[in-house]
Structure 1
Amino acid sequence: MNWTDERVEKLKKLWSEGLSASQIAAQLGGVSRNAVIGKVHRLSLPGRAKAGGSTTTVRTPKRTTSAPRAPNYASRITTRTVTRQQGATMLKEEIEIDTVEEVRFRPAANVVVPISRRLGLTELTERTCKWPVGDPLKDDFHFCGCESPDSSPYCTYHQRMAYQPVNERRKAANRVA
């Protein structure tokens, strides 16, 4: 049996779709499973795709531990390459490892909480803080009302609460988790 360009292209297509060597041999006709496997190796085609037509590689699920963590620890996922044996073959695979590092919480010593002016919606101006305080469905709902800089809807205190840098939000989220 000769491997024509058309048959090689069909082999590559069927291999990338995830068909087995036996299925490819049956579709090509006149060729054995072993001949298909040999041709795949000579062509240096990439590893097997998942059955079902997807061309993504098969990965082992992420191994996690469910040890309880204190709130002063932050976790970070790192990837490591490990070698394991499957039958007579040594395989290299990347696994994700959940590492934990201790985070020291230092409360800010110079935080001054402003005294709210308790303004209603109709009392707000361009120069007042529009930070909502309380439940809008309750009678004691109000806005901060303190003086705000020209370019912000909030006073300096509420700006710090509303506009946190991304890495600070992540650290805060890790402390909670």
Structure 2
Amino acid sequence: MGWTDERVELLKKLWQDGLSASQIAKQLGGVTRNAVIGKVHRLGLSGRAAPSKPARPVFKAPRPARQAAAPAAPRRIAPPPLAAAAPAPQPPVRYVEEAPGAATVLTLGAHMCKWPIGDPSSDDFTFCGRRASESPYCVEHARVAYQPAQAKKRSGANELARSLRRYI
């Protein structure tokens, strides 16, 4: 269906009233949301009376308190499964104030540590320049750059109950 003068005027009015492109397309009929957006763009319409956000309740009344269930017979809770093997604790990462490195952008080679030292906008910005290991960094900087993956904690009944409480 084409854009007649009446439909364009209705589009302008609905757009100024703050309706979304989807809402306007439904009211006009025979056009898509993208067609409405394109026409609005070509017409140069910009100002809107109000944003086209859906109305949300400002205040949500508190829920009534739940009735406590009668205490049941105590249940035996199985102990959590033991972890296969606890990884050896890694030594803490040391952050050291570093002296200027030995390499600049122009002298940096393929097997040199590319750890930046200093402010890139200053004239004394350098790179570490030591012999790189298998990564782009030397052994010391690789320890800082690549932290070991944290083991995922096992979800038990308590964790499930805690996460469900967020949604209830």
Please confirm whether the aligned pair reaches a TM-score higher than 0.5, indicating the same fold. Answer: no
How does the TM-score come out when normalised to structure 2? 0.32
Bigger proportion of residues as strand: 1
